[in-house]
Structure 1
Amino acid sequence: MGFIVVDTTIYDEHNFHIIQDDSSLIEWHMNEFGHFYKIFSSEEEIKDFFNKYDFEDSYFEDEAKKIFRKSQSVIITSCSPNQSHFIYAVKCRSKEDVVSEVSFIINECPILCETDIHKREVFDFNYILDSYKLESPNIKIRHSMFGAKLFCFLEKNNFLLEARDKYWIPDINENPHKPAVLSTYLFRQHYEESNLGIMEYWNYLHSNDRKYCRDIAKKINSTRDEWESEISE
C-alpha cells in the first residue's frame, strides 16, 4: 500500500485520499489537484513545456536552461495551468535547491490550490495501520483529531479486515484539545444537555463558537501563571 493524504479544511472537516502502490504520489497529485512537479532532462523538453502552455516568458525560460546547463536537470513546479495565476506560481529550481515531492505537496500545494484547505498531511499507509493496532506504542494517528473518522473511512473501504479483533477503534473524545475543553465550561448547560462527549460536542458547535473558544484559549496560553503569593485561599 502507498500513502494516505489527509486534508483539513478551514471548517475543521477532513478529506482522505488513498494512493495505491501502482501510482506515484506526485502523479496522483497532478491528476487530482492539477499541480505538477516535473524533472526536465533536456533543453528541448523545457522548450516544449513553455510552448505547450503558451508560457511567454523568455527570461524564465533562459533561467530554466541556465539551471539545466549547470545541474544537467531542472525541476519545474507550479499550480494547474488551468488556473488564472499559473504564470505567477511557476518556479524552476535545481535538484539541490528544490524541496522533496512530499514537502511540495504538504507545504506549497494548499496555497496554490486557492481552496479551503487549511492543512495537508501525508502518511505512509503502513504507519497508519500500525497506529491502530491493539498493542502498538504508536498512538499519534488514533489520538489525532481525524483518527476516528479515518478509521471509519478505512473500514468502510475494506482496508481493515477483521478490524474488531486486530485494531483499536479510537474514540474521538479520548484526547480533547484545549479549546474543546474550554467550550464545555463556556457553554456548560448546553454541553450537559447535549449528552455528547467533549470532541463530539466540539464538532457539533457552530464555527463561530469554535473560533470564540480558540481566541480565549490563545489569550490564556499567552498570559502568565498565577503566582503562589496571589493565592489567598
Structure 2
Amino acid sequence: MRLEDVSKVYGGGATAVTALHEVSHAFASGSFTAVMGQSGSGKTTLLQCAAGLTRPTSGTVSVAGVDVTGLSEAELAKLRGRRIGFVFQSFNLLPALTARQNIALPLRLARKGAIPDRVAELLVRARIAGLAGRRPHELSGGEQQRVAICRALVAEPDVVFADEPTGNLDSASGRDVMTLLREVVDDLGQTVILVTHDPAVAVHADRVLILSDGRIVDAIDAPTPDAIALGLAVNGRRE
C-alpha cells in the first residue's frame, strides 16, 4: 500500500490543526512496519487515513492498487471488509460468541465459504485451538487479543492495521501477541502496520517510522532497542 502527499487538517482558519503534513511512504507487501512518535505526532491519524477510517484533506492512499480516497462510503466499507484487517487495543469481541464464532464472523457477514477450515487453521497458528469454544469472559486478555488477531486475518486481507495491540496486556501476553504478528508476516506473507509507543513492541517490526509534527522524520530498518531509543531521543520524544 502507498500514501502519497497525504495531509490531514482538522478545523479551519486560526484554529486549524495539521495532524499530517504531506506524508509519502510505500509499505511493501509482506512487510511489518511500526509507527512511533510522541503524543500528537500524527501516528494514529496516519493509521486512520491509511486504513480508510478517516479521509485525508489532500493526497492519495492506495490499497492493493485501489485509490481509497476516491471511494464512496459504501465502497470504503466494502473494501475494508475485503482487503483490510483491524486489531485494536480493546479487543472488541462479541461477548455472546465463542472464540471460534468471533473469528468466523467476518466470513459469515461476507457470506464466504470454507469457514471451518480457515478458522481452524488460525486457531492452531495462534495456539488457542483448545479455547475455541470459550467466550471472551473465559479468556485472558492475551488470549482475547489473539482471537482478535485471528478475526482480522480470517478474510485474508491485503493489510492488517494494529493500534497499540499490546496496550492492555502484561509483558508476557504482549510478547505472545507480537510473536504471533511476526509469524503471520514471516509465514503467511501478511502486511502489518502497527502503531505503538513501546520500543519492546517495535523491535518485532522490519522497519520503524518515527513521526514528529505530522511528518515522517526517521526510518529505522532492522530496528534494535538502542536504535529506536536514539531515534526517539533525537526527534524529541520524552516519556
| Structure (1 or 2) with the greater strand fraction | 2
| Structure (1 or 2) with the greater helix fraction | 1
Q: Which has the higher contact order (CA 8 A, sep 6+)?
A: 2
Indicate the structure (1 or 2) with the bigger Cα radius of gyration.
Answer: 1
Taking structure 1 as the reference length, the TM-score comes to 0.24
Taking structure 2 as the reference length, the TM-score comes to 0.23
